[in-house]
């Protein structure tokens, strides 16, 4: 990633070789990443992969034990006071007065901002209006999350850190939240979020960083990550029991069930043309063609469960 | 928004939260009141050597206990709780400066301390016929002793909160010095001259003795000073002792203040 770091305006987030240790445990073992302004970066990984620890360094809640982080060009710890009015931080849980109502909490955090958003509008947007007078501890997990998000956004931040923003939300709330994040991006707000939901990363993120055991296992756009290997499998339905010898040059072909052929191997454009031409040549009647490519989930699972980290990078 | 306005909205939410937590309200206000009623009733008919009803001596001294409760314990336990449940951290992630956090807490402590003193004084007046001082000088003295006591106790509470590892135990831990000091500082046991000399000297190092002595000056007749160590009110020493503890508290606050709990 070194080449990405030179030149240009200060990135929203620039993290270099960051190490976070808790006693003898290394939570983050030297991570570098860059979030340009106005983009959405998703940190993807299992629980304990080091996502939250890395986020805490960016938020200025802890000093890295190695490496450095710059946020909007500033030091998150040293420049805390200058940085905070420009950030919106959504923590995973806790830290809200349990006996305060949703409305009181949002208005309190609005009172800290120089030019806060209209709190009524935010309550409406996040479907919290009917809970305005409900005490925090009476809200459901998803409602607490939505309030937490509102609190992060109320100060019109340039950059927001969202730690598992849709955890505990129902489908509708999740979609509302996704829309909101997309609107933030459209308004030029930079977003760094952690998630272990692949559809969330795929839908929202411009860039995905997959973390595993405190290290970066892979990085790229969702499209890059999923299409790096091109088409994985070509499925063809044709006459059953064809002699496949002529098709096997450089490919693996199996008849998975009668008339169902699965072909893997060289499947670029020319390869696809060759395969279909072969079916035409042998006079087979092709009735269905289907291509499968790796999903982000395939990539994620292969990176986080089997492949050694070094090999994945 | 200015730090002052942020502090005000912080103070408002602190007071709101306190009032909605019934256990805290009951423990903070009714417990000292109950102790006063019990002690005052049990020993009320007796008189001290200088002829002042013991219940009046208790009322005056118990204001010191009340302030320990509302300032030291409330501040210490509240901060430990805010630190443990992530409130401090969440606030740290906003443009709110640390001073607004502490001023907000201070506003809560001040409001509670004023209310606590009012409750105890009212009980003294209504139940034990304690006359209120008639002259402005005594009230002025009450004002500065009260303020110095609240400031010193609050800052010591902030400092001690850092030692609390588990917020659930904060109340119990903070009450150890509070209760111990009641016994040796002339609140529960008066006059202090009943204590061994060395204990008297140790107690005199802490602020509680001076708070209680100052409040006795305010609410007891002048001849009651015969019951004090040295036989006088020693208001100069009261001011000095409380002033020094304010400075010690401030230094300890600055040295020990942390935004978040220990890392796991």
Of A59, A96, A111, the CB nearest to B6: A111
Per-residue pLDDT at B46: 77
User: Burial, A171: exposed, middle or buried (Cβ in 10 Å; 0-12, 13-18, 19+)?
Assistant: exposed
Flag whether residue A97 sits within 8 Å of chain B, measured between CB atoms: yes
**Boundaries of domain holding A288:** 230-293
Last residue of a domain, one of A180, A196, A226: A226
**Pair A37, A147 in one domain:** yes
User: Who wins on pLDDT, B264 or B221?
Assistant: B221
When pLDDT is averaged across residues A197-208 and rounded to a whole number, the result is 90
When divided into structural domains, chain B yields a total of 1
> CB of A208 within 8 A of CB of A219?
yes
Comparing B32 with A308, the larger pLDDT belongs to B32
Do A103 and A179 sit in the same domain of this protein? yes
Distance CA A149, CA B138 (A): 53
Collapsing DSSP to helix, strand or coil, A196 comes out as coil
Q: For A96-149, what is each residue's pLDDT tens digit?
A: 888 899 999 999 999 999 999 999 999 999 999 999 999 998 998 889 999 999
pLDDT score, position B262: 54
In a domain, residue A31? The reply is: yes
Three-class SS of residue A265? strand
In 3D space, the residue among A20, A112, A17 whose CA is nearest the CA of residue A70 turns out to be: A17
Task: Give the CA dihedral A219, A223, A228, A233, nearest 10 degrees.
Answer: 140
CA distance A102 to A130: 10
Determine, yes or no, domain membership for A307: no
Nearest to B97 among A22, A81, A99 (CB): A81
Straight-line distance from the first to the last Cα atom of chain B, in angstroms, rounded to the nearest whole number? 35
Is the pLDDT assigned to residue A260 strictly greater than 70? yes
Tell me the nearest-neighbour CA distance from B24 into chain A, angstroms. 12
- pLDDT above 90 for B168: no
* Inter-chain CB proximity A62 and B263 less than 8 Å: yes
Cα distances (angstroms) measured from residue A227 to each of A2, A211, A231, A312: 23, 19, 7, 15
Check which CATH number belongs to the domain holding A38 and give it: 3.40.50.300
* Min Cα–Cα distance to chain B from A185, Å: 21
pLDDT higher than threshold 80 for residue A313: no
The interface predicted TM-score of the complex, written ipTM, equals 0.82
**Percentage of residues in chain B with pLDDT exceeding 90?**
55
Q: Which residue is it, tokens 């230094």? A: B251
> Is A313 domain-assigned?
no
Q: Does A100 touch chain B (CB under 8 A)?
A: yes
Query: pLDDT band at residue A4, thresholds of 50, 70 and 90?
Result: very low
How large is the greatest C-alpha to C-alpha distance in chain A, in angstroms? Answer: 76
Among A173, A202, A226, the domain-final residue is A226
- Evaluate whether residue B261 is within a structural domain: no
**Rg of chain A in Å (alpha carbons):** 24
pLDDT digits (tens, 9 = 90+) for B195-204: 899 999 999 9
d(CA A207, CA A211): 13
Report d(CA B35, CA A42) in Å as an integer: 58
Provide φ and ψ at B48, rounded to 5°.
Answer: -75, 175
Residue A228 has pLDDT above 70, yes or no: no
Reported confidence tier of residue A310, pLDDT bands at 50, 70, 90 = very low
A191 and A259 co-located in one domain: no
A104 closest CB neighbour out of B13, B89, B263? B13
CATH of the domain at A273: 3.30.70
Structure tokens at A228: 């790096």
pLDDT tens column, A161-172: 999 999 888 898
Q: In the listed set A199, A226, A253, which residue is the last one of a domain according to the structure?
A: A226
pLDDT of residue B1: 61
Q: Mean of the per-residue pLDDT values for chain B?
A: 90
Mean pLDDT computed over B5-23: 91
Residue A309 has a pLDDT of: 43
Is B233 within a domain?
yes
List strand residue ranges (DSSP E) for chain A, in order: 13-22, 25-35, 40-44, 66-71, 87-90, 159-163, 190-195, 207-212, 215-220, 231-237, 251-257, 260-265, 288-293
> What is the structure's pLDDT at B166?
84
Instruction: Flag whether pLDDT at A303 surpasses 80.
Output: no
- For A142, the token pair is 């998803």
User: Does one domain contain both A240 and A218?
Assistant: no
Mean pLDDT of A223-232: 72
**A229 has pLDDT over 70:** no
Question: Considering its fold, how many domains does chain A have in total?
Answer: 2
pTM of the model: 0.80
Angle at the Cα of B136 from the Cα atoms of B130 and B139, rounded to 5 degrees: 55
């Amino acid at each position: 990633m070194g080449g990405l770091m030179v030149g240009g305006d200060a990135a929203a987030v620039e993290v270099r070789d960051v190490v976070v240790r808790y006693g003898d445990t290394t939570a983050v073992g030297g991570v570098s990443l860059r979030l340009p302004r106005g983009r959405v970066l998703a940190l993807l990984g299992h629980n304990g992969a080091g996502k939250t620890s890395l986020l805490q360094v960016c938020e200025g809640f802890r000093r890295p034990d190695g490496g450095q982080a710059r946020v909007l060009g500033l030091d998150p710890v040293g420049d805390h006071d200058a940085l905070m009015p420009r950030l919106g931080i959504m923590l995973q849980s806790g830290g809200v007065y349990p006996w305060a109502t949703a409305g009181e909490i949002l208005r309190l955090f609005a009172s800290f901002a120089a030019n806060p958003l209209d709190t009524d509008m935010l309550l409406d947007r996040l479907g919290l209006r009917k809970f305005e007078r409900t005490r925090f501890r009476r809200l459901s997990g998803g409602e607490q999350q939505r309030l937490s998000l509102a609190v992060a956004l109320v100060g019109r931040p340039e950059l927001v850190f969202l730690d598992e923003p849709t955890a505990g939300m129902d489908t509708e709330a999740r979609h509302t939240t996704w829309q909101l994040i997309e609107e933030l991006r459209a308004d030029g707000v930079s977003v760094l979020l952690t998630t272990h939901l692949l559809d969330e990363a795929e839908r929202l993120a411009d860039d995905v960083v997959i973390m595993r055991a405190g290290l970066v296992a892979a990085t790229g756009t969702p499209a890059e990550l999923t299409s790096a290997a091109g088409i994985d499998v070509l499925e063809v339905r044709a006459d059953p029991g064809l002699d496949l010898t002529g098709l096997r040059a450089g490919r693996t072909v199996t008849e998975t069930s009668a008339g169902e052929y699965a072909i893997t191997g060289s499947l670029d454009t020319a390869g696809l043309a060759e395969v279909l031409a072969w079916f035409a040549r042998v006079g087979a009647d092709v009735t269905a063609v289907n291509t499968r490519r790796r999903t982000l989930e395939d990539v994620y699972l292969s990176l986080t469960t089997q492949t050694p980290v070094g090999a994945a990078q | 928004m200015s730090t002052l306005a942020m502090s005000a909205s912080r103070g408002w939410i602190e007071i709101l939260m306190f009032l909605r937590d019934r256990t805290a309200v009951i423990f903070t206000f009714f417990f000292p009141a109950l102790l006063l009623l019990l002690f005052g009733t049990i020993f009320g008919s007796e008189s001290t050597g200088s002829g002042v009803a013991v219940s009046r001596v208790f009322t005056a001294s118990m204001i010191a206990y009340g302030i320990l409760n509302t300032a030291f314990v409330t501040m210490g336990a509240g901060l430990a709780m805010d630190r443990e449940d992530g409130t401090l951290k969440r606030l740290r992630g906003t443009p709110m400066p640390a001073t607004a956090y502490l001023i907000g807490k201070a506003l809560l402590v001040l409001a509670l301390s004023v209310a606590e003193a009012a409750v105890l004084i009212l009980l003294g007046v209504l139940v034990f016929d304690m006359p209120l001082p008639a002259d402005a000088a005594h009230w002025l003295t009450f004002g500065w002793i009260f303020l110095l006591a609240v400031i010193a106790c609050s800052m010591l509470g902030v400092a001690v909160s850092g030692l609390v590892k588990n917020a659930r135990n904060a109340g119990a831990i903070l009450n150890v010095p509070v209760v111990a000091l009641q016994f040796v500082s002339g609140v529960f046991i008066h006059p202090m001259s009943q204590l061994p000399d060395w204990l008297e000297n140790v107690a005199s190092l802490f602020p509680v003795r001076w708070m209680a002595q100052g409040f006795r000056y305010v609410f007891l007749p002048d001849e009651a000073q015969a019951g004090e160590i040295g036989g006088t009110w020693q208001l100069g020493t009261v001011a000095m002792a409380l002033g020094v503890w304010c400075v010690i508290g401030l230094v300890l606050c600055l040295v020990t203040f942390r935004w978040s709990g220990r890392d796991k």
